[in-house]
Amino acid sequence: MTIEGYTKDEFGTKLGKILSTSRPIQSIEHLKGRSKELDTIEKSLYAPGRHVFIYGDRGVGKSSLAATAAYQYQSAEREPVFVSGSVDDTFQTVIVNIANQALRRPRTEAIRTNTTMSLEWRGIKWSDGIERSNLDISSQIRTVGDAVELLKQIAEAHSEKPIVVLDEFDTIVDVNERNKFASLLKQLGDQSVKLKFIFTGVGHSLDELLGAHQSAYRQLETVELPRLGWEARREIVLEASDAFNLSLDNNVNWRIAMVSDGYPYYIHSITEKILWEAFSSAQEVNEIGWDLFFQGLQDAILSINAELKKPYGQAVLNRSSEFEEIVWSTADHDDLSRVLSDMYQSYTKIVAKRGQNSILLDQSRYGAQLRKLKEENYGAILQQELGRPGWYGYREKMLRGYVRMQAEANGIQLTGERPAPKQKMYVGNARNGYRGPDTPKGVREHQRISDWEETTSNLPDPD
Ligand SMILES: Nc1ncnc2c1ncn2[C@@H]1O[C@H](COP(=O)(O)OP(=O)(O)OP(=O)(O)O)[C@@H](O)[C@H]1O
Ligand SMILES: [Mg+2]
């Protein structure tokens, strides 16, 4: 069926199934580029007493990986238990939350069982996830040992292979409260409780999340989640266009991949808007080309979450126009950390492209302005990289993708490449091989954050 054949309702419904701009993914068919991580998680969950911790930058896809892995693990008679940390949570409140979620009536008919979920523990009665006895549960969960005892019963009542996703663990503010989970894991293992945990958190290491010298390391498989790789970025768009029988200009597909900076939210958002533009177009549409791309990009920029946009606004709005170009220059290339001289190179290219209305600042003036981007009233978008004098990175890495979208919408194509002399060519391996030419020059296959350091040839800025 061509896109013209759909009613708005049919189109929107189908689109909502294919793209997931506002919700984590839960199924393996839509989770792109994470087969290695899924495999690691799957294998480690076989080990008795071992749990999983997924960490990485905001927006890289932690919740999606956790949910998908949990659905894979959880035995079919029930759904996995999902709870999320928040600023006012304590160990106690999280455990109570887990109990209530686990004992809730299954949501879908398909997994309804004839066992009613009810439990009685220390005089507290639950049925269908509601605590019926009006006792103060928290008062019964004074120690980690109490929690273990409760979770043991819950695990048995719940299912054959129960799993809990504790999302956004990092938002639990109190480090002492977070640390209790480390001893919880240890005790769950010691007492052979079959309940598994997948934690997610924004951060760069487990130390950051659990505190150093934790004994929980043996109980935890840690999965550091990098940005989405090139193929995965491209596949999201390709599948969506395939689903509506639209062909996809291969260069547009690469642009979306580059503009997104590897953050799947942007890819979903841009693709969703492109497809709506295609649907609403007065002309017959058979292909996603540049016009649709630019329309979709504009729409996506408008609808990006306000919190994300705010620092960008602070950095460029009501400022002299040079700040737009300076900010864009910071988001060029694939590297998340860059030195000033490198960014200045990007900047000179951007100014040249913008033409006569732009004035080129010299490097020292550029540097002075750039440093302002570390200040709160400029959105604090940049930060000096810890332990690497002269290197700058984004405070919130995901913002880089938004900056790239802004630049693109203004006719400035930032690249996913870097100016290093030795560049490899990669041969494209789009599905079935027929889709497209090779990877554009300079696009690097995905690397882990820790690998980037070694491959940079530039000298640091003596700042
Ligand atoms: N591997 C993937 N393939 C396709 N889409 C993905 C993938 N991972 C995540 N997404 C999509 O990207 C968006 C962000 O993903 P998710 O919410 O899982 O990220 P997160 O790291 O948990 O973010 P946050 O730090 O804000 O909690 C979601 O809309 C999700 O549908
Ligand atoms: Mg999340």
Q: Tens digit of pLDDT for each residue in 25-61? A: 999 999 999 999 999 999 999 999 999 999 999 999 9
Q: Which atom of ligand 1 has the smallest separation from the CA of 232?
A: 3
φ, ψ of residue 125 to 5 degrees: the values are -115, 130
Digit-coded pLDDT (tens) for 377-433: 999 999 999 888 889 999 999 999 999 999 999 999 998 764 333 333 343 334 333
pLDDT at residue 461 is higher than 50: no
The reply to whether 58 and 160 lie within a common domain is yes
Looking from the CA of residue 228, the nearest atom of ligand 1 is 1
Centroid of ligand 1 to alpha carbon of 321 (angstroms): 33
What mean pLDDT do residues 129-147 have? 79
- Determine the 3-state secondary structure of 155 from DSSP: helix
225 secondary structure, DSSP code = -
- CA-proximal residue: ligand 1, atom 17 (nearest): 24
DSSP string, 87-119: TT--HHHHHHHHHHHHTSPPSSGGG--SS--EE
Average pLDDT (212-235) is 86
Check residue 421 and give its pLDDT. Answer: 38
Burial label for 179, CB within 10 Å (0-12, 13-18, 19+), is: middle
Residue list, CB under 5 A from ion ligand 2: 63
Same domain for 21 and 40?
Answer: no
Evaluated on CA atoms 194, 200, 201, 207, the torsion sign reads positive
pLDDT on residue 118 = 78
Pair 267, 370 in one domain: no
Same domain assignment for residues 141 and 240:
no
Domain-ending residue, one of 224, 244, 279: 224
Residue 421 has φ and ψ, to the nearest 5°, of: -65, -40
Residue 126: pLDDT over 50:
yes
Q: Are residues 72 and 214 in the same domain?
A: yes
Strand arrangement, sheet containing 382-384: 337-339, 391-394, 382-384
Question: For ligand 1, atom 16, which residue shows the shortest CA distance?
Answer: 61
Residue with CA at minimum distance from ligand 1 atom 15? 61
Question: 18 falls in which pLDDT band (50, 70, 90)?
Answer: very high
- What pLDDT was estimated at residue 217? 74
Asked if residue 183 lies in contact with residue 147, where contact means CB atoms within 8 angstroms, the answer is: no
Residues 342 and 241 in one domain: no
292 lies in the same domain as 329: no
Domain co-membership, 70 together with 215: yes
Instruction: Tell whether 352 and 457 lie within a shared domain.
Output: yes
In the listed set 279, 303, 327, which residue is the last one of a domain according to the structure?
Answer: 303
- The first and second tokens of residue 282, run together, are 């007065």
Of all residues in the chain, the percent with pLDDT exceeding 90 is: 68
- At 456 the pLDDT is 34
Which residue's C-alpha comes closest to atom 23 of ligand 1?
59
My answer on whether 165 and 140 are in the same domain is: yes
Instruction: Give percent of the chain with pLDDT exceeding 70.
Output: 84
User: Residue 311's pLDDT is what?
Assistant: 96
Identify any residues that bridge with 199 across adjacent strands, giving them in sequence order: 53, 166
pTM value is 0.86
| Boundary (domain end) residue, out of 171, 189, 224 | 224
Q: What is the pLDDT of residue 453?
A: 33
Q: Which of 270, 340, 327 has the alpha carbon at shortest distance from 301?
A: 270
Domain count, the chain: 3
Looking at residue 326, its pLDDT comes to 97
- Find the domain containing 410 and state its range: 305-463
Residue with tokens 């997924």: 54
> Are 291 and 351 in the same domain?
no
Residues 272 and 329 in one domain: no
pLDDT recorded at residue 417: 63
Q: How many CB atoms lie within 10 A of CB 84?
A: 15
Output the pLDDT for position 210: 75
Whole-number mean pLDDT of the chain?
86
Percent of the chain as helix, strand, coil, to the nearest 5 = 50, 10, 40
Domain of 59, CATH number, reads: 3.40.50.300
Ligand 1 interacting residues, C-beta cut-off 6 A? 20-21, 23-25, 30-34, 58-64, 202, 228, 232, 236, 264-265, 268
pLDDT tens column, 73-110: 999 989 999 999 999 999 999 999 999 888 876 555 45
Atom 24 in ligand 1: residue holding the nearest Cα: 59
Determine the pLDDT at residue 358. Answer: 84
Q: pLDDT tens for residues 252-308? A: 999 999 999 999 999 999 999 999 999 999 999 999 999 999 999 999 999 998 889
Q: How high is the pLDDT of residue 215?
A: 65
